[in-house]
Amino acid sequence: MKSESVIKYIVKWLEQYCNQAKMDGFIIGISGGIDSAITSTLCAKTNKKVIAVSMPIHQKSDQLSRANEQLNWLKTNFSNVEILEVDLSNSFETLKQCLPVNAQNHFLSLANTRARLRMSTLYAIGQTNNLLVAGTGNKVEDFGVGFFTKYGDGGVDISPIADLTKTQVFELAKALNVINSIQVAKPTDGLWETDRTDEEQLGATYPELEWAMEYLNTGNSASVELNERQNEIIAIYQKFNRANKHKMEPIPVCHIPKELF
């Protein structure tokens, strides 16, 4: 991949889209992960207004530390960037207590509620400042296994890196001189109070999932003999792809036959 050319292309695309939308810039949530570090840097390079927001909800200290590193790096290197920290821990607990008891104890639902609370926060601040919400999803997450929260981190205005695999995102990180602690950290969605890496949740690494996505999309996969692990990866990819179709496809609409009107 020609990283420098890709960087220039995305930055120009961001500028053009922002101008056409008649918006002033971008707002983005900073998690301490590689995707938000890349996306925030690309947005900052447009020279348009950028608000970078850390939104901890009982966040683990290493994640929060990396997020703060990225915020400070952005502020130091780009005069157009404003940084904010909005601690949502109390808001999350208040909302949690308003829910039925079974919802209060449903771990996956609560994890997704964190992401949706952050999305609402970004839109509240973004709309106040005439900013577009920039998404951080990559190609495998957004169009392969659906590894994002519907109406959470999937609720965005634009997706600058959604045509890049995770491997390509890491390539871009080197070209952009992203903070080393972020480059070497194991990818995690940061939605759990325990350490849960993406690989542990998915059962496969990103390179493995990228291989499966490419393999299944080539159209001539039947002629290739796979080993045991490759078959396992294909099964993992297909399981997530099927289960998360509702995230990756348009909302189903019940079209009423004309004769019923």
Question: Does 220 have pLDDT greater than 60?
Answer: no
Share of the chain above pLDDT 90, in %: 75
Pick 69 or 60 by higher pLDDT.
69
| pLDDT score of 8 | 96
Domain 3-192 matching CATH 3.40.50.620: the answer reads yes
- In whole angstroms, what is the distance from residue 134 CA to residue 14 CA? 10
| Tokens, residue 203 | 């059962």
3-state SS string for 47-74 = CCEEEEEECCCCCCHHHHHHHHHHHHHH
Domain boundaries, the chain: 3-192
Is 70 exceeded by the pLDDT of residue 187? yes
Structure tokens, 69: 């590193």
pLDDT tens digits for 140-151? Answer: 999 999 999 999
- Residue 199: the pLDDT is 84
- pTM, entire model: 0.91
